[in-house]
Structure 1
Amino acid sequence: MDRRIRLLTLDESDATPLYMQLARKLTAAIEAGQWLAGEALPSERTLVDTLGISRVTARRALQVLDEEGTILRNRGQGTFIAPRFAQPLSNLGNFSEMVRPKGFVPTSEVIDTQRREPSHEECVALGLRPNDEVLSLTRLRKADTTIVSLDRSTLPVGVLSDVNEMGDSLYAYLDRIGKPVLRAVQHFRAAIATAELSRQLSIEAGEPLLLVSRVGYTHGEVAVELTKTWCINDYYDFVVELKR
């Protein structure tokens, strides 16, 4: 028997329902790193045969983890540990630097670009005039094939005039042209998935999201990017260290 599964043995004398015991034990094992993000979790059949529980108990336990966003269930492929990424708020890092250490391949799919006049919010954030031009690009952020967020970045055309110039990473591009983001101000607020966001992120309309708005500054405190990121809550942990 797999040692990890043996540790999931349930206590029938405990008043807690068996499916909830199993859900809690699985969650604790995942948080302890016994199963890693992207790794397959034991199937319902394996849990039933190994632990001597009913199929209903196994199914309900996995349903709890599914609803909590701990696992991903792919029909015909199995049940996998959902990716979850910790982003320290004290460090200015990019998406790739957050995803790669977890063993996932980061990808960005550009789904829309617009060259246009800035909105009032963009004028204020980027220090632009209403008749200036900006380039706005919308990207799906993925860990392997799992969509984890949607970015909408807006930059003055003097910084980026053609998305084909950028390559795979916006921040790497800004580094190359000598306008690296040295400081950023971020704001966090709750959001709800609109019909458009639900289609883009492949989630249900009305699902809660975390909206992160960031203004990035380069040399001379010049604002070079305004990025809004709609994060699927299941995949993100924002971490801040406080000292006294």
Structure 2
Amino acid sequence: MSGTSKTEIGATLTAAPLHEQVTNRISSRIADGRWPEGFVLPSEGDLAKQLGVSEGTIRRAMQALTQEGLVMRRRRTGTVVTGRAPRHSLDKWYSYYRLHARDGRLVNTETRNIEVLRGKASEVEAARLKLTPGEPVGHITRLRLFEGRPVMIDRIVLPLARLGHFPDRVEDLPQLLFKWLLEEHGLRLGALREQVTARIATEADRSLLGIEDSAPVALLDIDETAYDALNEPLMMMRHAALTDQHCYVNEVR
């Protein structure tokens, strides 16, 4: 496949920093398979015209994509998609999640918020979040859908004492929690600890995931605690993912 194919990649960009927007726009196209392995990107000049930015902005984006391993420069050919998975540095947690199709492709999921509640920290929640049992916490339940099908349940607990405000309505919940914590509360992700296990879906899981078959269904549990830059817990999360068509990839470089 060559860069002569239709490559329109969206509306003109207007907000700063432009090179990050360009990087995200191109990496999203690579991640969802629209620009597959071996695809030759348009020239920097063509991309600049499509997006209404300078060639210098495109050049900075290409440098970032090359460092991530998503593209490579080939003499006489141009900039080519490598087919490698993106590096999962912490900044990617603001906009990406590591759910992959069976063939290794990183898939973009749609987030659907289901429930938001205020409550009191249980003993387990208090221990994980360094709270006293009974301190106020916020609970969020949401689904991740791929091509309209629920594939993962997110159950999230946040310590309300660390937040300036917490939504009471589902429609006011943020789509990107780490970005919301940073921009609204000044809390930056510094580390993430995961524990991965497998189990059989409960009735509550089956209801959320729309599983009607009575046969046992395996779920992958990804139990996480997120920490800030000072190693203080920000939130605890449990992701319960179906495994029939997707897998969870943890890549270290």
- Give TM-score, length-normalised by structure 2: 0.55
CA distance in 1, matches of 2:192, 2:208: 26
Residues 195/95 of structure 1: CA separation in 2 closer, same or farther (3 Å cut)? farther
Say whether 1:168 aligns with 2:175: yes
Aligned to 1:197, the other structure's residue is in SS state helix
Structure 1 residue 163: deviation in Å? 5.2
Tell me what 2:233 maps to.
Answer: 223
2:94 touches 2:177 (CA, 8 Å); kept in 1? no
Residues 131/106 of structure 1: CA separation in 2 closer, same or farther (3 Å cut)? same
Q: Show structure 1 runs of 4+ deviating over 4 A.
A: 86-90, 99-105, 163-166
Structure 1 residue 239: deviation in Å? 3.2
Residue type of the alignment partner of 1:211: D
Structure 1 residue 182: deviation in Å? 1.4
Residue type of the alignment partner of 1:224: L
When the two chains are superposed, the root-mean-square deviation of aligned CA atoms in Å is 3.1
Q: Which has the larger radius of gyration?
A: 1
1:216 touches 1:223 (CA, 8 Å); kept in 2? yes
Where structure 1 has 5 or more consecutive residues not aligned to the other structure, the ranges are 1-35, 38-85
Where structure 2 has 5 or more consecutive residues not aligned to the other structure, the ranges are 1-32, 35-83
Residues 213/87 of structure 1: CA separation in 2 closer, same or farther (3 Å cut)? farther
Q: Percent identity?
A: 21
Q: Choose the corresponding residue for 2:195, options 169, 187, 193.
A: 187
CA distance in 2, matches of 1:186, 1:141: 19
Residues 148/181 of structure 1: CA separation in 2 closer, same or farther (3 Å cut)? same
Tell me what 1:142 maps to.
Answer: 145
CA distance in 1, matches of 2:237, 2:176: 14
Q: Deviations over 1:128-181 (max 9, x none)?
A: 011310000000011241212000000011325225564221111012021021
Aligned to 1:221, the other structure's residue is in SS state coil
Q: Choose the corresponding residue for 2:248, options 207, 227, 237.
A: 237
Residues 99/224 of structure 1: CA separation in 2 closer, same or farther (3 Å cut)? closer
CA distance in 1, matches of 2:125, 2:247: 26
1:140 touches 1:150 (CA, 8 Å); kept in 2? yes
